[in-house]
Amino acid sequence: MADRTPQKPRVLSGMRSTGKLHLGNFVGALDNWVKLQDRYDCFFFVADWHALTTDYADTSHIKQNSMEELLDWLAAGLDPERCTMFIQSHVPQHAELHLLLSMITPLGWLERVPTYKEQRENIKEKDLGTYGFLGYPVLQSADILIYKADYVPVGEDQVPHVELTREIARRFNMFYSGKREYVFPEPQPLLTPAAKLPGTDGRKMSKSYGNFINLSDPEPVVRQKLKTMVTDPARVRRNDPGEPDVCPVGDLHKIFSNQQTLAKVYEGCRTAGIGCIECKGWVADNVMAVLAPIQERRRPFEQNPKLAWDVLEAGSARARIVAQQTIEQAREAMNMSHLYQPPGGSK
Ligand code: SF4
């Protein structure tokens, strides 16, 4: 039932609405999205329903969080002329497909999802024993399949989710396609090289660890945060040699600095020729070189957030059109179309 002939393969990706994005989000996903938008027909969505799977008890910030996230997307260079940005809950077809897919998804498939087990064990402060939390991979599958996405950009740890989506698509096609063509193509993962981005305490940069640098942090804040960043623990005094390969600041240099600076860092650190403060100053310069244009692009949207909201509205309208076509095909395949059918008549 391939009714679309896109010039470019379609990519679908989303981010939970958690508010302002940090450097880890940029390096791990957003920077890649910006690059994908010219090569693919990209659909990017603010996953506000997904935010509910863990943060259902307090929704007071959810809309603001979606907005902040969108501002960062636009700031990073996502361009409404080159991709479709929308908000998940404004495209109710995701929910309908989620319901249909939930009917055919065996419970065992969901209980096996590695992130499900992991999060149930690690997040103790919230009750995740909910129907919605167990079912979030089905919602993810609906998000992907409703646009018949060809590719889903993911890190290694998310590959099982794409695999689950493929299994669900296959199962739907097996039950309902009959002699007709399959409704759902099986999406492929598009592996995103995951750069290790440490936070200021050396652990992975994350909102929940409070060790992050926001894309919108003003320069003095960025410099201050980097100044307090942990370093190679073996380098206690200024004249102790250090090792950039075990230092979180060294990891940042690998991402943000050029070869020349990197060579100076290795040489200076290993011979105690430079101090950590100096080394952190260089990394701050290079982080700011990335952040300054992002912050510059954010400004007009910050001053007039309605501009950004309009981008979401227009994107959501476009997404609804595509999603509606798919949902109609799914209904038809299941003999549940809205079209009149005389009693006793068969398709
Ligand atoms: S000089 Fe730089 S790389 Fe070496 S320990 Fe200090 S901060 Fe880390």
Tokens of 43: 């659909």
Tokens of 132: 């919605």
Name residue 154's beta-bridge partners: 191
Which of 276, 277, 278 should be mutated for ligand 1, with most atoms under 8 A from CB? 276
Which of 238, 279, 280 should be mutated for ligand 1, with most atoms under 8 A from CB? 279
| Residue 1 confidence (pLDDT) | 40
Q: Is 247 in the pocket of ligand 1 (CB under 6 A)?
A: yes
Q: Are strands 10-16 and 188-191 parallel, antiparallel or unpaired?
A: unpaired
CA of 127 relative to ligand 1 center, distance in Å: 41
Q: Is 244 in the pocket of ligand 1 (CB under 6 A)?
A: yes
Q: Tokens 């007709």 sit at which residue?
A: 180
CA of 235 relative to ligand 1 center, distance in Å: 8
Measure the CA–CA gap between 170 and 183, rounded to whole angstroms.
10
Measure the CA–CA gap between 238 and 221, rounded to whole angstroms.
25
Q: Are strands 41-47 and 151-154 parallel, antiparallel or unpaired?
A: unpaired
Of 290, 197, 327, which is closest to residue 251 (Cα–Cα)?
197
Element (H or E) spanning 20, and its range?
A: none
Q: Is 139 in the pocket of ligand 1 (CB under 6 A)?
A: no
In order along its 347 residues, the chain shows pLDDT tens digits of: 444 445 899 999 999 988 999 999 999 899 999 999 999 999 999 999 999 988 898 999 999 999 999 999 999 999 999 999 999 999 999 999 999 999 999 999 999 888 787 777 777 778 888 999 999 999 999 999 999 999 999 988 889 999 999 999 999 999 998 667 899 999 999 998 777 799 999 999 998 889 999 999 999 999 999 999 999 999 999 999 999 999 999 999 999 999 999 999 999 999 999 999 999 999 999 999 999 999 999 999 999 999 999 999 999 999 999 999 999 999 999 999 888 888 875 54
Q: Is the distance from CB of 256 to CB of 286 less than 8 angstroms?
A: yes
| Residue 4 confidence (pLDDT) | 46
Q: Is 198 in the pocket of ligand 1 (CB under 6 A)?
A: no
Secondary structure of residue 278 in the 3-state scheme:
helix
| Residue 345 confidence (pLDDT) | 59
- Find the distance separating the first CA and the last CA of the chain, reported in whole Å: 16
- The dihedral through the CA atoms of 245, 153, 29, 125 has a sign that is negative
Measure the CA–CA gap between 158 and 115, rounded to whole angstroms.
8
Measure the CA–CA gap between 153 and 161, rounded to whole angstroms.
11
> DSSP readout, 126-172?
S---SHHHHTHHHHHHHHHHTTT-SEEEE-GGGHHHHHHHHHHHHHH
| Residue 315 confidence (pLDDT) | 97
CA of 234 relative to ligand 1 center, distance in Å: 10
CA of 56 relative to ligand 1 center, distance in Å: 42
Element (H or E) spanning 176, and its range?
A: helix 159-176
DSSP state letter for 51: H
Produce one character per residue of 25-61: b if its CB has 16 or more CB atoms within 10 Å, e if not.
bbbbbbbbbbebbeebbbbbbbbbbbbbbbbeeeeee
Entry pTM: 0.92
Q: Is 274 in the pocket of ligand 1 (CB under 6 A)?
A: yes
Helices (H), 228-275: 248-256, 259-270
| Residue 346 confidence (pLDDT) | 54
Tokens of 171: 């199962």
Strand ranges across the sheet with 188-191: 84-87, 41-47, 10-16, 151-154, 188-191
Residues constituting the chain = 347
| Residue 156 confidence (pLDDT) | 85
Residue type, 95: A
Q: Is the distance from CB of 143 to CB of 88 less than 8 angstroms?
A: yes
Name residue 44's beta-bridge partners: 13, 85
Residue type, 238: R
